[in-house]
Amino acid sequence: MPRPDAEPRHRTRGSDPGPRTTDHGPLGGRHERPDARAKVAGSTRYVGDLSLPGMLHAGVAVAPIASARVLALDTAAARAVDGVEAVVTAAALPGANLVGVIFPDQPLLAADRVRMVGDRLALVAARTPEAAWRAARLVEATLEPLPAVHDPVAALVPGAPLVHDGGNLVRTFQVARGDAGRRSADVVVEALYHVGGQEHAYLEPQGCLAIPEGRSRITIIASCQCPFYVQQAVARVLGLPLAAVRVEQAPTGGGFGGKEDYPSEPAACAAVLAFATGRPVRFVLPRELDMQVSTKRHAMVVRHRWGADRNGRLRFAEVDAVLDAGAYVGISTVVAERANVSAIGPYDVPNVHVRTRIAYTNNLFGGAFRGFGAPQVTWAAEATIDRLARAVGLDPLEFRRRNLLDDHRRRICTGQLLRRPVLARECLDRAATLAGWDEFHARPRAADTATREGMGIALALYGCNLHHGGQRLDRSSAVVILQADGSVVVRVGLTEIGQGNLVACQTIAAQALGVDPTAVQVWQPDTTTVADSGPTVASRGAHASGMAILDAVRRLRTRLDPVAAELLGCRREQVELAAGRARVAGEPDRSVTIAQVAAELAARRIEAIATGWYRSRPRRFDAATGEGEPYEFYAVACHVARVAVDRDLGVVRVEEVSAAHDVGRVIHRDALEGQIQGGVVQGVGWGTTERLALDHGRLVNPSFTDYLIPTFADAPKVNIAIVESDGAGGPFGAKGVGEPALIPAAAAVRNAVVAALGVELDALPLVPPAIVAALGDAHPFAWVAEEEHEHVRSETVAPGR
């Protein structure tokens, strides 16, 4: 319920913006997020809160087993349920029976074949949610079970059950650099890492509302990260032109990648039902179903063979990774591209060979998740780096310092040169200082107590924005309207999903127009008001929308500045905008308010609306060799974790994480810190307690009671160091931080736990069973190499299913 007292501070400040702004502007500050009060007060209306006259509710019948032939579907009992208005199976679809962003491998409704638990068999629309879901359960499917494959490595072995006719190997990505270095390595580490998947655990489940206009147009209000993907998916299944499909971004209660590609599926379902019934249809997934059917972070198996010389310089790195795509490709190819580039981290390695393969299985559907393939390979890389450091007898910090990329050694594995400054060393030092690394290690610690403390470090190199492979999507649209009272409307094509895009866009627009942020109202995307801006992913939201806003402001000023100059009696080149005023540069006393200028524009009927556009710089990249410039620029992150581990009880407590981030420039400090805190906690959860328990492809813990995301009792203290610099190329020099905030966290925790216990742990998450098992057959660091060319083979923990 909207509270009458929720907004007045806004209005007061908005009506009198001038005196409250400073010349510096809001950039890097902490003004209140425009969406904060309503969300805290509970008055934000999410899709599940929306209702329209005559609205129906959708339900869906799904396959309970992972691999089967569909012999028959009987919907008679479902249709007989009181309140049911429509039951739709594959045969009744108006357009293409196809969802999926990249590969045409996924039907909206299974017609003859089931490939995962949760494949849709039939859709139901009914007058109540109860009737819809009851009817969905009454759809009778006759399924003939077929062999299934649940291990991605086994899936690639000839003779494995085929998930799709073309074979289980979807794609292979590779990058190689140098080759002969192996002979010069004094120490070689071989390891096999099993890195588990992760549920996004957004608080708001997937949902949308479809509102038809006859059979010719439709509006979708969707909880999503890319209204344009939803638009395309709905147009395809309904057989409509894109212009006839309007998608409005709903307030979205978290995404983390889980609402990048997946929302196209429920939206297509709701749209089909809306056209079948001619009535609005709301489709909100119950949590258990949402967790089973929506995309997950990919489980990965990563094999390593890395070598270093006795001085602690990395000589070579071989990485062979397999992603478990689940039954459909979705956007796994793009995830694998990022994993492939991220596998070496921010280290200078002369000889590199990385191979990343994608395997179909009959498991959960892998998709986008904060970090996008990078966290898994980072977890492996940072484990191996620690092994090598121990093998050559160096402190993990010192070993890293000897190998980090810097301004002089800045070529990554693809051959791309990083832009200066390269801040890996700076991030490492800042994080280590915040964590008190030296003091911690100088302090004596009892070795005979059950509780052991440990500290671990991990770094990540993050390619900002979209990979070359997704370059065609790397553009964005903005509209800026100066209202007659001096307030400003901003529309962008990228979405607020809790991460802070509204406040980032507000800050950027306010800074560029020299007004108080409260004078700027940013509106969520709507496909009828902005052009396709691609997805809100890849830590690109603030970057891409900010750049488009700056372009729009530039164009607006071509009409605003001449009017202001006239009012001020100066040349238009002399006009500057700051502190809510247009003024003569160098003569701050000669000024008028922006509101006066806006009123003048209105009086003269001058166009006070401007569009803006951004597209990423074209880059050279060879997809076959993996060489070139996969990303435009990069960010570095370093996390140091301090843990306490109970040896007897196998329980890990992450006490503190110190995070240093190379962000270019801060746009909004609260939002930035919030992203880092949230990323760390989500990474800690993935690394320690979050385990997807799969029984023949079926998730047996699809609830927050059984799937253990961190509570506040588990959240570590997060210390933050912001490393700023110029030259990043984003708005005011900002780089994205949404994903770097998560990527190294679990790896730092893993290294801390290993340091605490003195045994290697090669499977994520570090749940008590894994720790007890590792301690059970522990040979504490027995393998530290003392001879030349000693090859070290890690004993690996059996993979979870």
Q: Which residues bind other proteins (CB under 8 A)?
A: 64, 129-130, 133, 286, 288, 450, 646, 648-651, 653, 688-689, 693-695, 700-703, 705-706, 708, 710-714, 767-769, 772-773, 776, 801
User: At its nearest, how many Å lie between other proteins and the CB of residue 731?
Assistant: 39
- Rounded to whole angstroms, the Cα distance separating 479 from 470 reads 24
CA 596, 601, 602, 607 torsion-angle sign? negative
Classify residue 683 as exposed, middle or buried by CB count within 10 Å of its CB (0-12, 13-18, 19+).
buried
CB-based contacts of 472, cutoff 8 Å, min separation 6: none
Q: Count the Cβ atoms, other than its own, within 10 Å of residue 168.
A: 22
CB-based contacts of 178, cutoff 8 Å, min separation 6: 316, 350, 351, 352
CB-based contacts of 49, cutoff 8 Å, min separation 6: none
User: At its nearest, how many Å lie between other proteins and the CB of residue 691?
Assistant: 8
CA angle 51, 57, 60 (to 5 degrees): 150
Which uninterrupted H or E stretch holds 14? helix 8-15
CA angle 217, 223, 226 (to 5 degrees): 75
Q: Which two tokens stand for residue 461?
A: 């190199």
In 278-373, which residue ranges form alpha helices assigned H by DSSP? 287-293, 332-342
For other proteins, the closer CB: 207 or 580: 207
For other proteins, the closer CB: 172 or 703: 703
Q: Find, among 569, 465, 583, the residue nearest to 18 by Cα.
A: 583
What is the full DSSP assignment across 587-601? EEEEEEEHHHHHHHH
- CA of residue 41 relative to chain centroid, distance: 26
Three-class DSSP category at 483: coil
User: At its nearest, how many Å lie between other proteins and the CB of residue 331?
Assistant: 28
User: At its nearest, how many Å lie between other proteins and the CB of residue 692?
Assistant: 10
For other proteins, the closer CB: 308 or 756: 756
For other proteins, the closer CB: 130 or 398: 130
Q: Find, among 451, 447, 349, the residue nearest to 400 by Cα.
A: 349
User: At its nearest, how many Å lie between other proteins and the CB of residue 556?
Assistant: 49
User: At its nearest, how many Å lie between other proteins and the CB of residue 162?
Assistant: 25
For other proteins, the closer CB: 521 or 689: 689
User: At its nearest, how many Å lie between other proteins and the CB of residue 379?
Assistant: 19
- Rounded to whole angstroms, the Cα distance separating 355 from 377 reads 11
User: At its nearest, how many Å lie between other proteins and the CB of residue 677?
Assistant: 17
User: At its nearest, how many Å lie between other proteins and the CB of residue 133?
Assistant: 7
Classify residue 504 as exposed, middle or buried by CB count within 10 Å of its CB (0-12, 13-18, 19+).
buried
Q: Count the Cβ atoms, other than its own, within 10 Å of residue 780.
A: 11
For other proteins, the closer CB: 311 or 705: 705
**Beta carbons of 580 and 18 less than 8 angstroms apart:** yes
User: At its nearest, how many Å lie between other proteins and the CB of residue 685?
Assistant: 9
User: At its nearest, how many Å lie between other proteins and the CB of residue 134?
Assistant: 8
How many residues in total does the chain contain?
A: 801
Q: Find, among 381, 207, 204, 375, the residue nearest to 297 by Cα.
A: 375
What is the full DSSP assignment across 77-107? HHHTSTTEEEEE-GGG-SS---B-SS-S-B-
* Calculated CA dihedral for residues 464, 466, 468, 473, nearest 10 degrees: -150
User: At its nearest, how many Å lie between other proteins and the CB of residue 148?
Assistant: 15
For other proteins, the closer CB: 16 or 82: 82
Q: Residue for token digits 């179903």?
A: 289
| Bond preceding residue 710 cis, omega within 30 of 0 | no
- Rounded to whole angstroms, the Cα distance separating 41 from 293 reads 31
Q: Count the Cβ atoms, other than its own, within 10 Å of residue 786.
A: 9
For other proteins, the closer CB: 600 or 714: 714
User: At its nearest, how many Å lie between other proteins and the CB of residue 659?
Assistant: 20
For other proteins, the closer CB: 234 or 767: 767
For other proteins, the closer CB: 699 or 754: 699
For other proteins, the closer CB: 613 or 704: 704
For other proteins, the closer CB: 603 or 700: 700
Three-class DSSP category at 142: strand
For other proteins, the closer CB: 494 or 694: 694
User: At its nearest, how many Å lie between other proteins and the CB of residue 55?
Assistant: 16
For other proteins, the closer CB: 18 or 64: 64
